Amino acid sequence: VLALNGKIREVGEKILASNGEEVDFASALESCEEAGGTLATPMNEEENKAILGIVKQYNRYAYLGIKKGGTSGQFKYINGTPLNYTKWHQYEPNGKGTEKCVEMYTDGSWNDKKCNLYRLTICEF
């Protein structure tokens, strides 16, 4: 169960929450889904800033609900739809296929990263 001690942000139609845990991508996604949501997925600048607020609060990089898709090798939302907003860090993505997950830096920019590293869990509902 997510303990929510002031760790909730509202943005548009979404509610963002973090349990403060740092786990790998699969575990982060699983804990969000068990709570009835999914991994935080910024669809615009406003949502990116709201997620960044939680990233800064913990001062930890966080996984986003974006993953490199099958054959095309393009990054997509985890529901399979193409990205309509991106905020890649300079020279990113650069994983050449080995980095299939996406993390948010503490400045709000994105980096492609391996999925087995421990990053902050931020869910959206």
pLDDT in tens, 96-125: 888 999 999 999 999 999 999 999 999 999
Q: What is the pLDDT of residues 19-66, one digit of tens each?
A: 899 999 999 999 999 999 999 999 999 999 999 999 999 999 999 999
Provide the CB-side half-sphere exposure for 96 (13 A, CA): 0
Distance CA 87, CA 64 (A): 12
Q: 8-124 is classed in which CATH architecture?
A: Roll (3.10)
Query: Encoding tokens for residue 46?
Result: 């406003």
Do the Cβ atoms of 4 and 10 come closer than 8 Å?
no
Rounded distance between C-alpha atoms, residue 40 and residue 96, angstroms: 24
Please report the pLDDT score of residue 66 as a whole number. Answer: 97
Query: Is pLDDT above 70 for 72?
Result: no
Query: Residue ranges of the domains in the chain?
Result: 8-124
d(CA 20, CA 7): 9
Residue 18 has pLDDT above 70, yes or no: yes
Look at the chain and count its residues: 125
The whole-number pLDDT of residue 70 equals 73
- Given the structure tokens 């993953």, which residue do they identify? 67
